[in-house]
Amino acid sequence: AQSVAQPEDQVNVAEGNPLTVKCTYSVSGNPYLFWYVQYPNRGLQFLLKYITGDNLVKGSYGFEAEFNKSQTSFHLKKPSALVSDSALYFCAVRDTGGTSYGKLTFGQGTILTVHP
């Protein structure tokens, strides 16, 4: 079975500082990994994804994520945080093996708060 863990319920960072939102995963095959962001009273917006190849993936709004196979992690990063980045962030995984083909499993979400 596939699973995703976001170990921090909340991350606080000052505007202008780098931010990291952590994600670890478990799959039986190879993973496809995704990050989404959710603003209040809105649906989820796609940020970026890892399929294969370069371990550093660049996405929307200046976000990037680093895939680490040995640590089964896919942490979301941004070099300089903005107050407008404050939102709920979800990591998701899709297993290429096992019996859950196609199914996207989400982590519990991390609330990011960027202070002015």
Partner 1 sequence: KAGVTQTPRYLIKTRGQQVTLSCSPISGHRSVSWYQQTPGQGLQFLFEYFSETQRNKGNFPGRFSGRQFSNSRSEMNVSTLELGDSALYLCASSLVPGGYNEQFFGPGTRLTVL
> Which residues of the chain form contacts with partner 1 (CB under 8 A)?
32, 34, 36, 41-46, 49, 51, 90, 94, 100-109
Cα-based distances in Å from 40 to 47, 80, 86:
16, 22, 10
CB-count exposure of residue 105 (10 Å: 0-12, 13-18, 19+) = middle
What tokens does 85 get? 């980045």
Smallest distance, partner 1 to C-beta of residue 56, A: 17
Smallest distance, partner 1 to C-beta of residue 96, A: 8
Whichever of 102 and 116 has its CB closer to partner 1, that residue is 102
Whichever of 11 and 109 has its CB closer to partner 1, that residue is 109
Whichever of 35 and 81 has its CB closer to partner 1, that residue is 35
User: Which stretches of the chain are DSSP H helices?
Assistant: none
Smallest distance, partner 1 to C-beta of residue 107, A: 8
Q: Quick count: other Cβ atoms within 10 Å of Cβ 32?
A: 16
Whichever of 1 and 14 has its CB closer to partner 1, that residue is 1
Rounded Cα–Cα distance for residues 71 and 3 (Å): 14
